[in-house]
Amino acid sequence: MSVTIGTAPERYDTVVIGAGVMGATTALFLAQAGMKVALVDRGVLFRAASGINAGTLTLHMTRAQLIPHAIRGREMWLDAERWLGEPVGAVSTHGLSLAFTEAEEALLRARAHVRSEAGAPIDVISARKALEIEPGLNPGLRAAASCALDGHIPSYRVGAAYARALKRGGVTLLEHSEVERIVTGDGSDHAIYLRERAHPVRAGRIVASGGAWLEKMLRWMGFPIPIRCLFNQLVVTEPMSKVMGSVISIANGLLSLKQFTNGSVLIGGGWQGEGTLEAGGTRVIPENLRGNVRLAQHVIPALRNAMVLRVWLGQEAETPDAMPLIGALGTDDSRFVIGSVHSGFTSGPYMARLLADRILGGAPDLRAFDPCRFTPPPPTKAGSLPPQSLLTGSS
Ligand SMILES: Cc1cc2nc3c(=O)[nH]c(=O)nc-3n(C[C@H](O)[C@H](O)[C@H](O)COP(=O)(O)OP(=O)(O)OC[C@H]3O[C@@H](n4cnc5c(N)ncnc54)[C@H](O)[C@@H]3O)c2cc1C
């Protein structure tokens, strides 16, 4: 989308930094509620993790604590016309997670139990039943966990729908505008310095939604939270005749498979590559590529005839406890963060709606995602030690 860098108004109610699913959706809901919002990205809308992910809307891969959020996020994607103004090609299908060994079956049952306790409609079914649902599976499987709520989205197409929705909503989109520094003011006036712009953009509130680059943004705002970057690998095959209809994964989470309507099969599962966040380069690790493809061929033997078309890596953020960061930074209610959400594409729209609700004065339950859990408690009295309970964790 074209950008109005030189002429953009200089002051906004809220500036959102990072135009992936988290930032763009937060910006959209704030603008729909009447705020004057700018959405800033150093690149292009939906071109980082949010535009290149596997697009799986799965509960099998989601941490149990985030299942209710993933269910709501999945519903929002399927109903995108209502809040985004147009559908985004979300498909609702069945999801199967598979076990081939005794150890995998034990893991599968344990994980299915925890997730169904958290609200996911997951049942463990026999190998025979799984083969009835998905005849192309390796018949050597022992058991499967079956979930009626699964699906996928062509994530690379979603950015265009957001660009139209943001424009309709009146959000100023500043692309190719890298934030280099934030000077936080008195709680209602922050200065956001963009590369190659002499004057900062000013904002009453800031939302940091920088994905894998969040750590640096949080440091600018005085919140040093260590964030690990995962370089996730995805492989896509040339279109082939139908080999599967469900979204398929395996018990240990190291495989996800789906076939799009054009016949291409997308192979993922969190196999890692390498890269550097700042320089931006990524590198495929050949043995991880081979391992990922071999596992896919083991699960769906017809994939032995597949031709790999393309391999790529994308950056995903992870906090030390692998739980999201969503909420206010500090107590002045003018600096916020959203990111590091496991299976974040699935739950992204719902997480962003919660944050927008919080910024607009609502009280959604964000306690488990409070960014302040990583920051030290404020000092008690000058020079005094904190109570013993804080030092030892005992009461
Ligand atoms: C390969 C891969 C596969 C995945 N598969 C799935 C899946 O199947 N299902 C699922 O639910 N989730 C999946 N995920 C996770 C999901 O994609 C992410 O959780 C989600 O997209 C993160 O969104 P975000 O908005 O936080 O970050 P991003 O989409 O990464 O957006 C962050 C934005 O911040 C911008 N930015 C960074 N620094 C600056 C700066 N200084 N100034 C201005 N802008 C800046 C970046 O340019 C970027 O556009 C996958 C992730 C990857 C990488």
Q: What is the pLDDT of residues 94-136, one digit of tens each?
A: 999 999 999 999 999 999 999 999 999 999 999 999 999 999 9
| Residue 1, domain member (yes or no) | no
Do residues 355 and 336 touch, judged by C-beta distance below 8 A?
A: yes
Q: Same structural domain for residues 63 and 135?
A: yes
Specify the range with the lowest mean pLDDT, choosing from 3-17, 260-274, 344-358, 376-390.
Answer: 376-390
Q: Nearest residue CA, atom 21 of ligand 1?
A: 50
In the prediction, which pLDDT does 330 show?
85
Residue 376 sits in a domain of what CATH number? 3.50.50.60
Q: Do 310 and 327 fall within a single domain?
A: no
What percentage of residues in the chain have a pLDDT greater than 90? 86
Sign of the Cα torsion 228, 277, 252, 63 reads positive
% residues pLDDT > 70 (the chain)? 93
Task: Give the helix ranges, DSSP H, for the chain.
Answer: 21-32, 49-52, 67-78, 80-84, 102-117, 127-133, 158-169, 214-220, 286-299, 344-359, 388-392
- The pLDDT tens digits of the residues spanning 218-234 come to 999 889 999 999 999 99
- Comparing 247 with 281, the larger pLDDT belongs to 247
Q: Which domain holds residue 343?
A: 11-51+157-227+321-384
d(CA 164, CA 182): 28
| Segment 301-325, tens digit of pLDDT | 999 999 999 999 999 999 999 999 9
Q: Tell whether 167 and 88 lie within a shared domain.
A: no
The residues, any chain, with a CB within 8 Å of residue 378's CB and separated by 6 or more, are: none
Q: Is 15 in the pocket of ligand 1 (CB under 6 A)?
A: no
Domain boundary pick from 318, 344, 366: 318
- Look at residue 4 in the predicted model and tell me its pLDDT: 45
Q: Give 137 Cα–ligand 1 centroid separation in angstroms.
A: 31
Which residue, judged by its Cα, is nearest atom 26 of ligand 1? 211
Write down the pLDDT at residue 383: 42
pLDDT tens by residue, 242-278: 999 999 999 999 999 999 989 999 999 999 999 998 8
Q: Which of 209-218, 269-278, 370-379 is predicted with the least confidence, judged by mean pLDDT?
A: 370-379
Burial class for 261, CB neighbours closer than 10 Å (0-12, 13-18, 19+)? exposed
Among 6-10, 218-222, 268-272, 279-283, the range with the most confident prediction by mean pLDDT is 268-272
The CA 205 to ligand 1 mean position distance, Å, reads: 22
At 393 the pLDDT is 33
Residue ending a domain, choose from 295, 318, 341:
318
| Residue of 3, 28, 41, 346 with the most ligand 1 atoms within 8 Å of its CB, for mutation | 41
DSSP string, 64-131: GGGHHHHHHHHHHHHTHHHHHSS----EEEEEEEEE-SHHHHHHHHHHHHHHHHTT--EEEEEHHHHH
**Is residue 77 located within the same domain as residue 118?**
yes
* Residue whose CA lies nearest to ligand 1 atom number 50: 53
pLDDT value for 299: 98
Region 1-30: mean pLDDT is 82
pLDDT in tens, 285-300: 999 999 999 999 999 9
Choosing from 286, 318, 350, the residue where a domain stops is: 318
| Inside any domain, residue 3 | no
For residue 379, the model assigns a pLDDT of 52
In the prediction, which pLDDT does 184 show? 84
Q: What is the per-residue pLDDT for 308?
A: 97
Residues 237 and 149 in one domain: yes
* CATH number where 290 lies: 3.30.9.10
Q: How many helices (H) and strands (E) does the chain have?
A: 11, 18
Q: Within this chain, do residues 74 and 46 fall inside the same structural domain, yes or no?
A: no
Same domain, 306 and 167: no
Locate the ligand 1 atom nearest the alpha carbon of residue 234 and give its number. 1
Same domain flag for 215 and 76: no
Structure tokens at 342: 């496991």
User: Which H helix or E strand runs over 143?
Assistant: strand 143-152
Average pLDDT score, the chain: 92
Does the pLDDT at position 84 exceed 70? yes
CB 195 within 8 A of CB 32: no
167-198, pLDDT tens digit by residue?
Answer: 999 999 999 999 999 998 777 889 999 998 88
Q: What is the predicted pLDDT for the residue at 377? A: 58
| Residues forming a β-bridge with 91 | 152
- CA 317 to centroid of ligand 1, rounded, Å: 8
Residues 201 and 235 in one domain: no
